[in-house]
Amino acid sequence: MAFEIGVMTFGEVTKDPATGARPSPRQRVRDTIEQARAADQVGLDVFGVGEHHRSDFVGSAPSILLAAAAAVTERIRLTSSVTVLSSEDPVRVWEQFATIDLLSAGRAEIIAGRGSYTESFPLFGYDLQDYADLFREKLDLLLKIREQNPLTWNGRFRAPLVDADIAPRADGTTIPVWVGVGGSPASAISTGRLGLPMALGLLLGPITFHEQTVQLYRAAAAKAGYDAQALPVSINAHGFVGRSSQHARDVMYPYFAQGMMENNHQRGAGFALSRPVFDAQSSPGSGLLVGSSQEIIDKLLAYHELYGLTRAIIHIGFGGMPQQEHLEAIERLGTDVAPVVRREVAGRVVAAA
């Protein structure tokens, strides 16, 4: 399995802390599609859009953004990052992503998640008390829809399906469904038991943060009869590829700090990420993928060695970032970083075989 490298966005609509300018939502949806096109042109493997139901993101309907991206790209895979499946109707999710799959000639993927933001639950009439049961049931339905058509199915959270014809079907044989895992042991284990690919989310913390997550996942998968070493695992972390180490940190820091302040609320207020703390989180032993091209190469290889990853998706522009900087980072990732990492990982796989 070739190592895949991609980028993702939440479609941030945030005031630039340097200029005070806030991009219009119209501008940001267009920026998002331009990012997808740029990522495709520089040969990146995956483009992801996250789902958030708030005014400071334009990504409340990622499937529509991905459909628009499908029309302007040729080769890149298009994924939600993530679909908040717990508050969605899996029938609708399937219909939308199968349509993207047709538009893109088989490039659609879904990362199903429980959601770390909770706005979608009251919007769609779901109770957060049912958090675990909702996800389990909806994932079950999504996988059944993927497996068979027509489908007869019964559950607690929606009307039963009786011999239901759910169309369109995938362009090829299937649509990959990954599960987004933030690190709780139970999510890792239940994902492993289902033999589904696991997308690891990492906000801040040491690069080794997910060692136990991956161990538990592979052990559960093996116990359930899957080839645990063959299952795809990805890391999804924040980052930015700069001209130099210093440039990368200087560009990313003010936006990322703003993102942490506006999104990571505790005690009703944001979390102030100081520059020394950010710099520490950018060190070789930490998880953030920020630095020069060479630093990112080194860190992706370190991630691969630690976890046996098959994919890395870098979230660029959390907290908002000027489009020009964003596009340049995509270009460096595609032209300087990705070819080296793919070659080095392929070499490791051959050596191990």
Site of interaction with another protein (CB under 8 A): 132-133, 136, 183-187, 189-190, 216, 219
**Least distance between another protein and beta carbon 94 (Å):** 23
Minimum distance from CB of 237 to another protein (Å)? Answer: 19
Give residues with Cβ within 8 angstroms of 294, minimum separation 6. none
Alpha helices in the chain (DSSP H): 25-41, 62-72, 90-103, 120-123, 131-147, 185-194, 211-223, 245-263, 275-281, 293-307, 323-332, 338-352
Distance between CA atoms of residues 282 and 285, nearest Å = 8
Which of 220, 327 has the CB closer to another protein? Answer: 220
Q: How far is the CB of 180 from another protein (least distance, A)?
A: 14
Residue 174 or 184 with smaller CB distance to another protein: 184
Least distance in angstroms from the C-beta of 210 to another protein: 13
Query: Least distance in Å: CB of 185 to another protein?
Result: 4
Shortest Å distance, C-beta 266 to another protein: 13
Q: Is 289 exposed, middle or buried (0-12, 13-18, 19+ CB in 10 A)?
A: buried
**Shortest distance, position 195 Cβ to another protein, whole Å:** 16
**DSSP state string for 132-187:** HHHHHHHHHHHHHHHH-SSEEE--SSS--EEEE---PPPSSS---EEEEE-S-HHH
Comparing CB distances to another protein, the nearer of 60 and 215 is: 215
Nearer to another protein, 211 or 250 (CB): 211
Toward another protein, which CB reaches closer, 76 or 134?
A: 134
Residue 267 Cβ vs another protein, minimum distance, rounded to whole Å: 15
d(CA 119, CA 170): 30
Nearer to another protein, 136 or 247 (CB): 136
* Nearer to another protein among residue 181 and residue 341 (C-beta): 181
| CB nearer to another protein: pick between 58 and 188 | 188
Long-range contacts of 296-305 (CB under 8 A, 24+ apart): 296/239, 296/241, 296/333, 296/337, 297/336, 297/337, 297/340, 297/341, 297/344, 299/207, 300/5, 300/337, 300/341, 301/341, 301/344, 301/345, 302/207, 303/207, 303/235, 304/3, 304/341, 304/345, 304/348, 305/348
